[in-house]
Homo-oligomer: A and B are copies of this chain.
Amino acid sequence: MKNFKITCAFSGTNYHGFQRQENLPTVQGELEKAFYKLLGEKTQVNGCSRTDAGVHANEFVFNAFIDTAIDPRGIKFGLNGVLPPDIAILKAEEAPDDFHARFLCKGKEYKYIIHNSETKSPFLADRAYRSWYPIDEKKLDRACKDFIGEHDFKAFCAAACDKDITVRTVFDYKVERQNDLVIFTVSGDGFLYNMVRITVGTLLFINDGKLKEDSIPGIISSKDRRRAGKTVPPQGLYLNRVFY
């Protein structure tokens, strides 16, 4: 058996998240079906993260133990040939036996994309969250710096969050504009359930004047979910990089 570290990308639109669920299409389910077609035997896929329904990945890492003579390049092309067109293997490489995509993950970077326009774009419907109200990306880029550092992010965790320890370290946060797209990029050692989407929703409250520009430290120290902003919808969220 060889342990393979495999990097993929997927559009989450047609899937109920990464993690396998009975009778629902998931990315993990499609990957395990593809391994079965390629190798003729069941293969366990260990993903670096769960993702919610509709969330995308530009880079998502998993590992799998495979008993095969096929080389990494063959694994990549073989899987791509049997996977649906909205899931792509970017890279396959042999890894040490103790490599585990989730346990050894040192951090992740997410992007959240807002289509900031009065005009609907049919081709961005599943790829970005549309908000017509003008966004002051410079103001939000200043405000978001208050997320950086080690904090207890309990106020930015969905009610369903089951973690005892809600302290996380945000490495970096920035907000920038590319024409009518506003892009939020955040990296950290780990993220609570819905944490990225709640930080973006909180920044939108700051944009709209419902919260002050300097209100993030107070919300963090309150540990009160009700003081943060709304959870923005999943289709704007991309897992962008995974660090080991």
Contact = CB atoms under 8 A, between A and B. Distances in A.
Using C-beta atoms within 8 Å of the partner chain, give the interface range for chain A.
Answer: 20 to 34
Interface string A1-36: 000000001110000000000000000000000000
A80 B9 contact: no
A57 to B, nearest CB: 8
B125 A11 contact: yes
A87 interface: yes
Contacts of A125: 11, 84-86
Contacts of A86: 122, 125-126
Nearest 7 interchain pairs by C-beta: A88-B120, A85-B125, A11-B122, A86-B122, A86-B125, A10-B122, A88-B122
Contact of A120 (B56, B85, B127): B85
The secondary-structure label for the interface of chain A is loop
Contacts of A83: 120
A119 interface: yes
A90 interface: yes
A130 interface: yes
Task: Give the interface centre of A9, A119, A120, A123 by most chain B CB atoms within 10 Å.
Answer: A120
Contacts of A85: 120, 122, 125-126, 130
A179 interface: no
Contacts of A68: none
A6 to B, nearest CB: 14
A120 B145 CA distance: 35
Contacts of A122: 9-11, 56, 85-88
19 contacts: A9-B121, A9-B122, A9-B123, A11-B123, A80-B120, A83-B120, A84-B125, A85-B122, A85-B125, A85-B126, A86-B122, A86-B126, A87-B122, A88-B119, A88-B120, A88-B122, A89-B120, A90-B119, A123-B127
